[in-house]
Amino acid sequence: MIKLKSREEIELMRQSAQLVSKTLGMLAAEIKPGVTTLYLDQLAETFIRDHQATPGFLGLYDFPNTLCVSVNEQVVHGIPSKKPLVEGDIVSIDCGVLMNGFYGDQAYTFAVGEIAPEVAKLLEVTKESLYLGIKQMKIGNRIGDISHAIQTYTEKHGYGVVRELVGHGLGRKMHESPEVPNYGKRGRGPIIRNGLVIAIEPMINMGTKRVKQLSDGWTIVTADGKPSAHYEHDVAVIDGKTEILSTFDYVDQALEKIK
Ligand code: MG
Ligand code: MG
């Protein structure tokens, strides 16, 4: 069942989403060769708790950390480790918080130092596909319109759209109805109504769409070992208008400073 939210609830959700956005912005300034993903995880947990919130992933389905950190061919659900990042890596950071009873959930794929041009293109296209999906988030459309927009744009670039993992409704639970796949047909799926809040999150592979899970029980990797990118926003429709509750502004500002 889809739980539609009131304006008041959506304002609380915006605060949760914005805290995740600020956490990603804080991390953006720290990501460089030599840094371990476990260090990033500790920074994020402290930052979130300092803002009177709780890490949203820690303990959720027994996940052991605050961040899902997925490097290179890792798609999502990577576990932070003591292995340092190296120049040329990409690192997808997915972060959730719980504040005032509502979850925020957002992801961004960062470049570590200089990355290969074809990898930079994967990041650019995946991020763009997120915004193309968001453009379809309007009253009267269906979830399939979002899915279709993401799939057609990324496949046009020859990329693989992960099937096994999808976006989702968001609220008092991290994962609510409806599912928001990154592939699908126009005009299909649940109708988009006032009060709907969803996390839209394309997970796009440079090569095959096929993925597998590592023996740690969490990490999802591409089947061909090629890199994968992941961007996520929390998006609401309220009073007939689409509002992106999260933002990449904090990340953009941090990256601009270290340029
Ligand atoms: Mg997420
Ligand atoms: Mg999500």
User: Quick check: 26 pLDDT over 80?
Assistant: yes
- Does 228 reside within a domain? yes
Range of the domain at 142: 7-257
- Does 2 reside within a domain? no
- Does 54 reside within a domain? yes
Looking at the 3D structure of the chain, how many domains does it have? 1
212 in helix, strand or coil? strand
Q: Does residue 192 contact residue 16 with C-beta atoms inside 8 Å?
A: no
Ligand 1 centre distance from Cα of residue 171 (Å): 13
**Ligand in closest contact with the CA of 165:** 2
- Does 87 reside within a domain? yes
**Ligand in closest contact with the CA of 23:** 1
Ligand 2 centre distance from Cα of residue 32 (Å): 25
Does a cis peptide bond (omega within 30 degrees of 0) precede residue 117?
no
pLDDT, one tens digit per residue, over 61-90 is 999 999 999 999 999 999 999 999 999 999
User: Quick check: 259 pLDDT over 80?
Assistant: no
- Rounded distance between C-alpha atoms, residue 175 and residue 113, angstroms: 33
pLDDT at 258: 84
The structure's pTM equals: 0.98
- Does 159 reside within a domain? yes
- Rounded distance between C-alpha atoms, residue 136 and residue 144, angstroms: 9
**Residues near 116 by Cβ (< 8 Å), separated by ≥ 6?**
88
- Does 1 reside within a domain? no
CATH code (residue 44)? 3.90.230.10
Q: Which of 158, 167, 142 is nearest to 209 (CA)?
A: 158
- Banded model confidence at residue 46, pLDDT cuts 50, 70, 90: very high
Average pLDDT on 161-182 reads 98
- Does 71 reside within a domain? yes
pLDDT, one tens digit per residue, over 188-202 is 999 999 999 999 999
**Ligand in closest contact with the CA of 94:** 1
Q: Does residue 24 contact residue 252 with C-beta atoms inside 8 Å?
A: no
pLDDT, one tens digit per residue, over 213-222 is 999 999 999 9
